[in-house]
């Protein structure tokens, strides 16, 4: 995922990549929270929010 985001893409593809990253980060945050790793979960939630903004994905925000 990180390698794909570093490359230059048309805006729509970049937004979709960030949308996928946001959803993956949100899933990782939920899993971390459920495992009792609240600090890690917080980091993933922040990443999900940041990626969701770039993706203009209101479902993640």
Q: Is the pLDDT of residue 61 over 70?
A: no
CA distances from 18 to 8, 28, 35, 51, 60 (A): 13, 15, 25, 5, 11
pLDDT by residue (tens digit) across 31-54? 999 999 999 999 999 999 999 998
Better-scored residue on pLDDT, 55 or 4: 55
**How do the domains of the chain map onto residue ranges?**
2-55
pLDDT by residue (tens digit) across 7-34? 888 989 999 999 999 999 999 999 999 9
pTM for the model = 0.83
């Amino acid at each position: 995922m990180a390698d794909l985001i570093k490359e230059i893409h048309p805006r729509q593809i970049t937004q979709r990549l960030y949308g996928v990253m946001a959803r993956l980060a949100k899933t990782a945050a939920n899993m971390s929270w459920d495992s009792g790793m609240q600090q890690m979960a917080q980091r993933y939630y922040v990443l999900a929010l940041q990626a969701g903004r770039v993706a203009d994905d209101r479902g993640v925000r």
